Amino acid sequence: MERIVEIFWGLTALYLAVGSVFAVVFVTCGVQRIDPAAMKASWGFRMIILPGTMVLWPMLAARWISGKVAPEEKNAHRCAARSTNCPKASP
């Protein structure tokens, strides 16, 4: 049982080490590629997202590699502002 715990903590440390390296690179030059709103983000914002980037690095790496941008929310307010045909909510 002790060996299983050692393996678990070793894998956790490896995951976070890779996440740390990825987070530094992503925060400096990758975040603006998947979220255009972050193009002119301050360094304070980038430091705030650093811990989450360390943990969620596989998902962010996949999105960065694929070139997908953040999905745009579709709600009644945006539809009214843009005068687009949005699906109506069913009662």
**pLDDT band (50, 70, 90) for residue 20:** very high
Task: Convert the pLDDT of each residue in 35-72 to its tens digit.
Answer: 888 888 888 999 999 999 999 999 999 999 988 776 67
Domain ranges in the chain are: 2-69
For the residues 14-42, what does the mean pLDDT come to? 91
User: What was the pLDDT predicted at 86?
Assistant: 66
DSSP one-letter string for 11-70 = HHHHHHHHHHHHHHHIIIIIHHHH-GGGTT--HHHHHHHHHHHHHSHHHHHHHHHHTPPP
Token pair, residue 32, equals 């603006």
**pLDDT band (50, 70, 90) for residue 91:** low
- Which of 22, 73, 67 has the alpha carbon at shortest distance from 49? 22
- Which of 58, 61, 82 has the alpha carbon at shortest distance from 72? 82
User: What is the Cα–Cα distance from 69 to 85, expressed in whole angstroms?
Assistant: 22
